[in-house]
Amino acid sequence: MTMGKLSSLTLLAAVAVLVPLAPFVRRADAQARFDLEGPKIDARVTHEGKTLPIASVPNLAVGDRLWLRPNFPETQSVHYLMIVAFLRGTTNPPPEDWFVRIETWSKKIREEGAEVVVPAEAQQVLVFLAPVTGGDFATLKSAVRGRPGVFVRASQDLNEAGFEQARIEKYLSSMKQVPPGDAKGLLDHSNLLARTLALRPNPECFKRDVDQQITCLTQTGTQTLLDDGHGQTIAAALTTGPGSDFITAASYTQAAGAGTYSAYVGAVVDLGRILSALHTAQFQYIPAIAFPQGEALNLRLNTPPSFHNPKSVIVIGLPSVQKTVTPPLRTTDDRHVTCLLEPHVAIPVEGAPLVFSTGFAHDLVLHLNTAAPQDLPVTADAYQGGLVLAPTNQRRPLEDPGPPKAAGAAATDVVVKAPATQITGTVRGFWGFDAFTGPTVPLQQVPGVGWKVLSGEPLIVGHKQDRLTLTSTGSACVQTITFDAASGAEGKASVKAAGESAQANAIEVDLPLVSAAPGSLQLAIHQFGVAAVTPLDVRTYSEPARLDAMTIHAGDRGAVLTGQHLDQVRQVRVNDVRFAASGMAGANATTGPDASDRLVLGLAADASAPNLKAGEKVTAHVLLADGRDLDLPVTVAAARPVLMLRSRSVPHNVASPIKLVSKDDLRVDEPITLILKSSAAISRTEELEVAQDAGTDADGAASRLTFASGALVLQDSHTLRATIDPLKMFGASIFGPIRVRAVLQGSDPGDWIPVANLVRLPTVSMLTCPSEAVKPCMLTGSSLFLIDAIAPSASLDGVLTDPTTVPEDFTDMTLAVPHPVGGILYLRPRDDRSAIATLSLPVQTEPTTTRPAAHPPAPSGAATAATTTATTTAVR
């Protein structure tokens, strides 16, 4: 069997115990547990002049002196005869003098006990407790000598069952130390116990509520023992031959519980028909499992003893007589380094569950392999997952005295070296009466120095967690690593040993950077054994720009970069030609990890046009604001149609009293004529796309002019005349900036060319003013809602003076306005609140009458001066 395989001995041991014993057991419960307290017996063993309590003795040797004393109460009414029987194998009955009769009711025996010596050739030891009857000693001796193999197996299986039960008991008692409600502690300590005791708790328990997990884990039958081989070797269990074939077969029968395992080794089966020849009218045999503690055997029974015929004989297995098998302790992880500066040190070891579940291993020390060796006492603690040093805050590193000084040299000539960061220690101790040497483990005795980042950069702010790998002269003594977060609170990193592929003394540090800011970040490394904190500066960065593609066409003087976080881009270099960011072209309508930005690049001020050919493969070197340099492969695209705007004109066919003065503002109801030039001959298949410039390619209305429609006319092969009629192309809702670009089938569109800012204006027909200056004038017309505000004057920078604001929900045909000053009214179009227009309209004087205003002026007030005409001038 190998480690990790479910131990078949769990059921095997329980059934095997009852193969010899079940013929004498009468019970209805086929799975009774060993939870009945048995009689008390004290025992100790003397070997070569050294005496140990029975709990510290894994095996006996020939010549050992075994001391036994019944520890019965004073009121014990039934006299038990204690019989010590030595066995020497299944086929060699023991001689008659290997049976020792001890009368437990004797005063001398009760006070002083009895001592027996292990005879030569003995292999097993059994103790029988039989109620005193006539012929009891002779009857029992005859039964053992007649069928020695039955009792040899009983001895072996009782020992094996005791070993396995000790592991379960240790798990149950240790789990009760976990504070209630501590789910993490429950899982951590359960894992440590499972590793050291070689068992597997029921994983379903951890899926329950926290307050139910401990109940589930400590419930009998929820732990599966794993076979480590050590306990079997000690017990020398019979697992081969015809007998074991029967036991294995029996374990899968319904009577045997169909392989069911009880934590108390309770698969007790009535197999009386098999060995019924041993049954007598006077005796039945019941097993007792010993749980030694000090000198006390602490017996447990699974069947209540009977004092009527057939009376119960209690069978107790003592350690077998065999060569010592020392525990195969090994380190859990050969790369793990234990820090001796911690106040609580646990050296993780495994491979020998009996070290943790019994008292066989004792006087354990960690021998420090240094020039001045020391032995540090350790104890086996399954709850802590290893060998634990005594807690202390005074443990100091060992000094290295250097090489031995020469004879006659003065004491001052000895140079004491600084203590080594790492040393080794070897586990030593006793297994019963025999010394043994365990594994050698690496240790760290001084804090690490020379901290540096091994890998993991760059650190990106905003990430839930980023990982750094740090290294130094020693990393085992790191207690915590903290840092100052941008919020002002102290951030705490999680630290663990680096993986097997990492170099020695490396640790992995997970930093939560959700609230961190880009720039310098100082880590504070707290180590055991030193009060001072070791600082380590690292750098954090913003989320790096994701470069998806760069589009550049042959003959272009600019390019477009697509990706994410492109606001970090400061410069792009292609073949020593530098491009600078001209501005973000906006993001796509989509959001999330696949959303992308477009960054328009133009030639740097001191750069010349790149000489790139279509299909040429180049590399764009993208410099970010934080100094990082990213490379992006680029394939030069084919040349695009290129047009340049030479002139723009408007016929001014619309007679209107409202005039837009700024050359950048054009009325939406007048056609626009463009003269465009191209260095290459213009194809008649070329089209001109006209679009509303709403900030991105995806937004705004768009339409195309073609030669077939008559909107495009070649003035010559390199000059194009285009006529744009905004109202006809886009309808009455078009306003704002418009732009054009050349479109030629089979190539990418050309660059956008700004054309003008379209402004919609109302139609006005009459301005009527009363003779009283305190009353507002009335402006009559249609679409008056296109006026945002109107005032009698405006400053040179285009700011209205005392404006009257038109409400957004205005629907009337007349509007109350201030009196013109100097024959001029100034209005601000709603389509472009940065522009101003002037209104020039004859004023009709209204007779002095009292009438209500058609629409009250806005709260900002109205002008009061009267005049005869009004004029509007657009000022930007």
pLDDT of 306 reads 84
Tokens of 271: 């197999």
Question: What residue ranges of the chain have pLDDT lower than 50?
Answer: 1-31, 222-223, 225, 228-229, 232, 235-279, 400-405, 409-416, 586-594, 696-698, 851, 853-854, 856-876
Dist. CA 191–CA 175, nearest whole Å: 11
Cα-based angle 711, 712, 715 (whole degrees, multiple of 5): 135
**Closest C-alpha among 781, 803, 806 to residue 792:** 803
Residue with token string 């027996």? 116
| CB proximity list for 254: less than 8 A, separation 6 or greater | none
Residue 721: how many other CB atoms lie within 10 Å: 14
DSSP track, 692-715:
E-SSSSSSS-EEEE-TTTTSEEEE
**Closest C-alpha among 437, 153, 162 to residue 289:** 162
In Å, the largest CA–CA distance within the chain is: 151
Decide if 379 contacts 387 (C-beta within 8 A). Answer: yes
Q: What does the buried/exposed string (b/e) look like for 65-87 if buried means 16 or more CB atoms within 10 Å of the residue's CB?
A: ebbbbbebeeeeeeebbbbbbbb
Dist. CA 125–CA 319, nearest whole Å: 7
The pLDDT tens digits for 751-771 are: 899 999 999 999 999 999 998
| CB proximity list for 663: less than 8 A, separation 6 or greater | none
Decide if 454 contacts 506 (C-beta within 8 A). Answer: yes
Dist. CA 853–CA 828, nearest whole Å: 22
Dist. CA 709–CA 722, nearest whole Å: 11
Decide if 144 contacts 151 (C-beta within 8 A). Answer: yes
Dist. CA 444–CA 729, nearest whole Å: 82
- Helix, strand, or coil (residue 44): strand
Amino acid 46 reads T
Q: How far is CA 85 from CA 100, 114, 835, in A?
A: 7, 14, 117
**Closest C-alpha among 865, 868, 845, 854 to residue 771:** 845
Phi and psi based region of residue 321 (left: phi greater than 0; alpha: psi -120 to 50; beta: remaining): beta
- Helix, strand, or coil (residue 143): helix
Dist. CA 847–CA 865, nearest whole Å: 16
The model's pTM: 0.60
| Strand arrangement of the beta sheet that strand 736-743 belongs to | 665-667, 753-759, 736-743, 687-692, 702-705
Decide if 490 contacts 542 (C-beta within 8 A). Answer: no
Dist. CA 386–CA 380, nearest whole Å: 6
| CB proximity list for 97: less than 8 A, separation 6 or greater | none
Tokens of 299: 């017996």
Strands 459-460 and 534-541: parallel
Amino acid 237 reads A
- Helix, strand, or coil (residue 498): coil
Q: With DSSP H G I counted as helix, E B as strand and the rest as coil, what are the percentages for the chain, rounded to 5?
A: 15, 40, 45
Tokens of 55: 């709990």
Helices then strands, each counted (H, E), the chain: 10, 56
Dist. CA 433–CA 361, nearest whole Å: 10
| CB proximity list for 651: less than 8 A, separation 6 or greater | 670, 671, 673
Question: Please, what is the angle between helix 242-250 and helix 9-21, to 10°?
Answer: 110
pLDDT of 273 reads 29
The pLDDT tens digits for 668-690 are: 989 999 999 998 899 999 999 99
Decide if 613 contacts 637 (C-beta within 8 A). Answer: no
- Helix, strand, or coil (residue 429): strand
Dist. CA 489–CA 640, nearest whole Å: 55
